[in-house]
Chain A
Amino acid sequence: KAGVTQTPRYLIKTRGQQVTLSCSPISGHRSVSWYQQTPGQGLQFLFEYFSETQRNKGNFPGRFSGRQFSNSRSEMNVSTLELGDSALYLCASSPSVGSTDTQYFGPGTRLTVL
């Protein structure tokens, strides 16, 4: 079974631009979560989607948004990029919602903001 895929793998943007990252979960998985990884703040939860509904949101400004489609694929968008948004963005999928489900991570999208 194919793993979680994320596109693109690398992205360079300038301040003020917006960006959209894509995540395709493992086939059959219906829950998708997003995390931001930076050297200073570590791994931080962004949001979680299940059945096209955002079920949980981390402590990030409104510039960060996401959505999930009927085929469980998910996108996250960051508007008005800031230098501090440079990070590795990781997507994880799990079969359903619930704290016992294992989250399977993709390779991430590395975003650099200049």
Chain B
Amino acid sequence: AQSVTQLDSQVPVFEEAPVELRCNYSSSVSVYLFWYVQYPNQGLQLLLKYLSGSTLVKGINGFEAEFNKSQTSFHLRKPSVHISDTAEYFCAVIAGGTSYGKLTFGQGTILTVHP
């Protein structure tokens, strides 16, 4: 089974500041990793995903994440945030090498960008 821990439930930052949202996972098998964003009253939108290859993954809206296998982490970063980045962010894993699409999500991190 897999589990995901998002280390911060809320992260407040000022506009144009850098931000890091932390995610650690636990799994007995290899996993694929995802970050999703949820704006108020909307569904989830994929920001980026790591399947294999380069450990630094670039996504939409200027976000990137780095997969660290030894630390079982997949932290999300953005060098300069905007007010429009205010949303809830979810880290998720899925067991690799299977034909199942069951995502296991973390509890979410609410990012609030202040002017």
A: residues with CB less than 8 A from B are 4, 31, 33, 35, 42-45, 48, 55-56, 58, 90, 92, 94, 97-108
Q: Which residue of B lies closest to A88 (CB)?
A: B43
Q: Which of B14-22, B60-68, B74-82, B99-107 contacts A (4 or more CB under 8 A)?
A: B99-107
Cβ-defined contact, A99 with B98, below 8 A: yes
- Closest chain A CB from B53 CB (angstroms): 12
Q: Which residue of A lies closest to B42 (CB)?
A: A107
**B104 contact from A45, A98, A105, Cβ within 8 A:** A45
Number of B residues near A (Cβ < 8 Å) is 27
On whether A43 and B46 interact (CB within 8 A), knowing A31-B101, A33-B102, A99-B32, the answer reads no
Docked Cα-Cα span, A101 to B92, in Å, equals 13
Q: Which residue of A lies closest to B94 (CB)?
A: A99
- Closest chain B CB from A35 CB (angstroms): 8
Q: Which residue of B lies closest to A97 (CB)?
A: B99
Cβ-defined contact, B100 with A105, below 8 A: no
Cβ-defined contact, A103 with B103, below 8 A: yes
Cβ-defined contact, B101 with A48, below 8 A: yes
Cβ-defined contact, A45 with B102, below 8 A: yes
Cβ-defined contact, A48 with B108, below 8 A: no
Can you identify 15 A-B contacts, CB atoms within 8 angstroms?
A: A43-B90, A48-B101, A48-B102, A55-B100, A56-B101, A90-B44, A94-B101, A98-B101, A99-B95, A99-B97, A99-B99, A100-B32, A102-B46, A105-B45, A107-B42
- Closest chain B CB from A90 CB (angstroms): 6
Docked Cα-Cα span, A35 to B90, in Å, equals 14
- Closest chain A CB from B85 CB (angstroms): 19
Docked Cα-Cα span, A43 to B106, in Å, equals 8
Docked Cα-Cα span, A97 to B99, in Å, equals 6
Cβ-defined contact, B100 with A48, below 8 A: yes
Chain A residue contacts of B100, Cβ below 8 A? 48, 55-56, 97, 99
Chain A residue contacts of B104, Cβ below 8 A? 45
